[in-house]
Structure 1
Amino acid sequence: MPEKSAITSSELGVLWLTYQEKTMILRILEYLIEKADDEKANEIMTNLYGEIDNYVGKITETLQNEGAVIPVGFTAQDVNKEVPKLYDNGFDIMFVRLLKEISMGLHSLNITMSYREDIVLIFKDLTAITQKYYNLCTQYLLEKGLLVKSPHVSMPKSVEFVKDNSYLGGLSINPFSEKRSLNTVEVAQLHHSIESNVSGLQMIIGFAQCANEAEVKSYFNDGAEIAKSIVKELSETFLQGGIQTPQTSGGNATRSTIAPFSDKLMMYCTSLFCSFSMGSGSLGTAFSLRNDLPAKMTIFMKDIFEYAHKGAKIMIKNGWMEEPPQMEERNQMLN
């Protein structure tokens, strides 16, 4: 067998990031499995835990073979399975589904930054696992009536082309002109953003209730307000077009104020959701042709970026931000 080439800087970076994300998910699953009161939900999360744990082992082995230090990531110190239930009414699978949605995007991106066949295979396998469990979570939530599908629409009977710039509508053409109805691509982006922020809102409300540090608690409360404003603004856009807004009675934080996770883990999880939200917002901006929509999304992304930056400062202040592997300091070495 030919000798494997040394891993590149980008491969080291994506393996490091994946180790952080997967060890966080394992700790979250340990708690959610312990508190699951639905047999099928427990089965989905338990099987997912086994598959993720296997690949954390493969990443650890790869790094060890390269002589790289193993990251700290998230350990047993970051979870307390004995505390009361923090979330109820199907939120465990809603939370896992959102985590799998984030993972899908990350794994696809990581494949494009990997070259060595064994590392590419890790991310291909993780992509397949993520897609499998994302679908299982989706079908579970639909069966339980906890997931609202996007609005139905009459099927098109002919192909149409944009005839003039009035199709763009909104701000840059004439802010007072009547806006055209939303197209289905725009509805898809808006519906996805509302759905994600509703789940994220419940997650961060739970975090705010149980955070140990006062500054962290305040930070999570600020995040909840941002999520509320996004849901409100985008729901109004739907209502203005006579479109039903997605609503679900499932998934909520309980009254518990005892933290199942460390502040470090909850801050990292929130940071991950911020990154996901900014990426989704960029896609929404790129594929929305009605000028008022990218304007809204740009404001949201600015607010989320500033919020994420504030969170990074809190993590650094408390010694919770693990530093990724660095490139060599060539200037210092030469001097």
Structure 2
Amino acid sequence: MNQSKIPLTSSELANLWMTYQEKTMILRILEHFIEHADNEEKQLLQSHYNGAAKNVEMITSIFKQEGAVIPIGFTESDVHKGVPKLYDYMYDIMYLHMMTKVEMSLYALFTGMSYRKDIEDFFIGLTAESQAMNSQSTQFLLEKGVLVRPAYVSMPKEVNFVQDKNYMGGLNWFSETRSLNTVEVSLIHHAIETNLVGMQLMIGFAQVATDKEVQNYLVKGMKLSKKIEIDLGEFLRQSFIEPPATHAGKATTSKTAPFSDKLMMYNTSLLTSFGLGSNALGGAFSLRSDLPAKMTFHAKDIFTFAQEGGKIMIKNGWMEEPPQIEDRNQLTKGE
């Protein structure tokens, strides 16, 4: 059967729409990065840019074929050329590394929500692209000594089962807290690594935001990322593991905005949503009660932060509305 003759489902339409938003944003961010990148970095950035541009064209083609309006997303008006760079040494690749983590999660989820074969294949391809780019950026940053590997541990020599009833206990004054297991360490490391990059993103965004309310909001985001990084880092230190840190990827002192406030708010919103998901994952897979408890507090703060950001975007007319289903309730009004 010709797949194009099968109508898009609501989930397929929604996921293509969200991908369009994310990809057009990435294009604008990369345009600023590419303008200031060294040749070695530019090759990686340009590769991801070219892929994102083709994917936007593909989604546009699908929407036209289905008779759907093309979203606005983010356009040339959301990036300003010829301004000083907002981030210094290697931040562009660190950002790419962080965003491809977001993309891998999103596109794997969207693949499982697709039913039409061509849409499923499209998201399978996107997943593979983001995985390949994440791998390339990881190896690039490792070679430059910018990315910190998680802690090494001794390899297990035998299989053990939990016997101690206090295994699921947390930090308290009456019993000795067990060391973190490797599952917990991996999730904490990932969260700290992401928040370090996110914190620098917020610092740069806050410096150049033109709207005072947006600026104050981004400062809150910076402080929230720092709080999460410090709190989770303490769990590692309790197990005599140093949290990840890097000398690279800092915001410059530039006060000239390369991006619109609309774009910076959307990027913040996207990372906040990803943070909520990662936080839930970390809490779900931890068997030490104090760690999920701390992540629950973080989740509350992240959710409150996300809600505030949504209100600011709506107030300024920056939140593009996703495709709506028909309001069947209208049929019953007046009865």
TM-score by length of 2: 0.97
Equivalent residue, structure 1, for 2:127? 127
State the AA in 1 paired with 2:22: E
For residues 24-103 of structure 1, what are the structure 2 equivalents within 5 Å?
A: 24-36=25-37, 38-103=38-103
Query: Contact (CA 8 Å) 1:10, 1:113: kept in 2 or not?
Result: yes
Query: Contact (CA 8 Å) 1:98, 1:196: kept in 2 or not?
Result: yes
Equivalent residue, structure 1, for 2:330? 332
Equivalent residue, structure 2, for 1:304? 302
For residues 117-266 of structure 1, what are the structure 2 equivalents within 5 Å?
A: 117-170=117-170, 176-266=174-264
- How far off is 1:175 after superposition? 5.8
State the AA in 2 paired with 1:77: S
Runs of 5+ consecutive residues of structure 1 not aligned to the other structure? none
Whole-Å separation in 1 of the counterparts to 2:13 and 2:243: 43
Equivalent residue, structure 2, for 1:9? 10
Report the 3-state secondary structure (helix = DSSP H, G, I; strand = E; otherwise coil) of the residue aligned with 1:84. Answer: coil
Query: Contact (CA 8 Å) 1:170, 1:177: kept in 2 or not?
Result: no
Relative distance call for 1:57 and 1:204 in structure 2 (3 A) is: same
Aligned residue among 256, 281, 284 for 1:283: 281
Query: Contact (CA 8 Å) 1:170, 1:176: kept in 2 or not?
Result: no
State the AA in 2 paired with 1:108: A
Whole-Å separation in 1 of the counterparts to 2:203 and 2:326: 41
Equivalent residue, structure 2, for 1:111? 111
Whole-Å separation in 2 of the counterparts to 1:266 and 1:333: 40
Report the 3-state secondary structure (helix = DSSP H, G, I; strand = E; otherwise coil) of the residue aligned with 2:101. Answer: helix
- How far off is 1:81 after superposition? 2.1
Whole-Å separation in 1 of the counterparts to 2:173 and 2:103: 39
Relative distance call for 1:175 and 1:56 in structure 2 (3 A) is: farther
State the AA in 1 paired with 2:267: C
- How far off is 1:165 after superposition? 1.7
Whole-Å separation in 2 of the counterparts to 1:254 and 1:58: 36
Greater shift in the superposed pair: 315-324 or 152-161: 152-161
Query: Contact (CA 8 Å) 1:86, 1:253: kept in 2 or not?
Result: yes
Whole-Å separation in 2 of the counterparts to 1:180 and 1:287: 16
- Give me the CA root mean square deviation: 1.1
Q: Deviations over 1:118-168 (max 9, x none)?
A: 111110111111011111110110011100000111111111100032111
Whole-Å separation in 2 of the counterparts to 1:114 and 1:236: 41
State the AA in 2 paired with 1:223: G
State the AA in 2 paired with 1:213: D
Whole-Å separation in 2 of the counterparts to 1:221 and 1:77: 24
Equivalent residue, structure 1, for 2:268? 270
Q: Deviations over 1:165-200 (max 9, x none)?
A: 2111226xx663221011000000011111000000
- How far off is 1:334 after superposition? 3.9
Whole-Å separation in 2 of the counterparts to 1:101 and 1:81: 27
Query: Is 1:23–2:21 an aligned residue pair?
Result: no
State the AA in 1 paired with 2:244: P
Runs of 5+ consecutive residues of structure 2 not aligned to the other structure? none
Q: Deviations over 1:3-34 (max 9, x none)?
A: 62111111110010000000000111111001
Task: Give the paired residue count.
Answer: 332
Whole-Å separation in 2 of the counterparts to 1:20 and 1:26: 10
